[in-house]
Amino acid sequence: MKTGSSWDTAYEVRIILILSLAFGLVGLDRFILPVLFPSMMGELQLTYEDLGNLVGILAIAWGIAAFGMGYLSDRLGRRKVLVPAVVAFSLMSALSGVATGLLSLLVIRAIMGLAEGPVASTGVAVAVEASHPTRRGLNNGVFQCMISLFGLALGPLIATQLLQVTSWRNVFMIVGVPGLVIAAVMFFVIREPARVMTTSGTPAPRPSVRDLFANRNVPLAMLTLMCAMTGIFVQAAMMPNYLIDYLKLSIADMGYVTSAIGFGGCIGQFALPAISDIIGRKPATLLSFVVSAIFLYLFSQTGPESLGLLFALLFGAALFNFAALAILAGPVAAESAPIGMVASVAGLVIGAGEIFGGGVAPAIAGRIAQSSGIQYTLFFAIGGQVVGVILGLMLRETAPRKVGDTLSAARDVVRQ
């Protein structure tokens, strides 16, 4: 955004802060389920396969809504999509605490996914529109890393501590409240993007859905994000039960080790997109997939004797796995979009990753755990990283500093 001839840095900082808090609450409401699941299983008579399906149905709904509502926000405006979405997912989190069984949980989590998906795709668009191109990767990293910090780092610690003093039902209700406050703040702060104008001063026609695929990076980013999401969501969904049931850790130790996913993911989502502003999106993506596969394999070979080593290896795996997600879903998607369609392309990429990596993959992992043993789900996650390397080699570089297009990139963002 510009005011006069200078970039509106104050708005840039303000909106990234608000988006970060909102996306952090998305993560908290979403990822607290696997941490609470061991406490829920007995009362609601749930299985590992049920866990995979609960994680999966939210992700599939998230993926569908990420594109559909992102496309809608390109036409109706950002505020009209984001504010109701934040209100809805907060209410669904609270309702998870009154679930009576698998069916009610599936319905609640599906509706939650429909509400959370637009926060991802429309949030990327708002962040891109507010960010100077030389800070696009950095700001998207800050925004996206909050889902890891709140959901996968602080979430396990918050949940396991609250479980010492209250029930899992009350925990769901407690974490749903802050989102309502954030929604009210967003309503007054978010600015709508300006329409692209022709030389005659009339609004330019919007690109069609077919135009979204004009850049080959779009379908490639969709496939590559599926691989990153496979690693992330298999870890997030299965790790608490893997640590308790396979490695025989206590609930407190499980919470400590599981939090490594969040702390590592938070740093990865922040640091690597910022670094990709300098070294390029493609090298940063390839590095992320290779290193995350190595760390995840080493973790799978480590026993329960050293909690510190388990934490460190899981921290490294998550750091680089989430880094790939942030680069692909944020700057790569935005820089591959036609003018005026950033939310649509971001939603398309995020939606594909969510539906397979976040939806199908955890369901597959649940079946692997149920039939062969939960320890084998880690190798499924590693396979996703290996395929991600192969697909990442075909990406085109888009970072403005690397392709020498910083000034025109700034003009494109302002016109949106």
Q: Over 181-213, what HEC string results?
A: HHHHHHHHHCCCCCCCECCCCCECCCCCCHHHH
Q: Which parts of the chain register pLDDT below 70?
A: 1-6, 194-208, 405-416
Element (H, E) at 3: strand 2-3
Which residues lie closer than 8 Å to 246 by C-beta, 6 or more apart? Answer: 373, 374, 375
- pLDDT at position 203, please? 58
- pLDDT at position 405, please? 58
DSSP per-residue letters across 238-283: HHHHIIIIIS---HHHHHHHHHHHHHHHHHHHHHHHHHHHHH-HHH
State the Cα–Cα distance between residues 284 and 261, nearest whole angstrom.
19
Question: 339 phi and psi, to 5 degrees?
Answer: -60, 130
Which residues lie closer than 8 Å to 64 by C-beta, 6 or more apart? Answer: 114, 117, 351, 355
Among 327, 297, 324, residue whose Cα is nearest residue 389 = 324
| Residues 374 and 241 sit within 8 Å (Cβ to Cβ) | yes
Among 56, 144, 119, 106, residue whose Cα is nearest residue 355 = 56
| Residues 359 and 59 sit within 8 Å (Cβ to Cβ) | yes
Domains defined for the chain, CATH in brackets: 12-191+213-409 (1.20.1250.20)
Amino acid making up residue 230 = T
**Dihedral of CA 74/352/175/138: which sign?**
negative
Which residues lie closer than 8 Å to 175 by C-beta, 6 or more apart? Answer: 25, 28, 29, 32, 93, 158
Q: Is 177 helix (H, G, I), strand (E, B) or coil?
A: coil
- pLDDT at position 202, please? 55
pTM of the model: 0.75
- pLDDT at position 409, please? 47
